[in-house]
Amino acid sequence: MLRDLYARKAYTLPDRIAIRLGRVWRDAIDGYDRHKALLAFEWATLFALRVALRNGSVFIEHSFAFRSQAMLLIPPDEWKAKRNHLCGHLKLPQDPKEFLEPLIEHLD
58-78 pLDDT, tens digit per residue, is 777 776 666 666 777 888 899
For residues 20 and 28, is the Cβ–Cβ distance under 8 A? no
Alpha helices by DSSP H, the chain? 2-7, 23-29, 34-55, 76-89, 96-107
Looking at the predicted structure, is the pLDDT value of residue 101 above 90? yes
pTM of the model: 0.57
Q: Would you list the domain boundaries of the chain?
A: 2-55, 74-107
**Rg of the chain in Å (alpha carbons):** 24
Does the pLDDT value for residue 5 go beyond 70? yes
- Predicted pLDDT at 66: 65
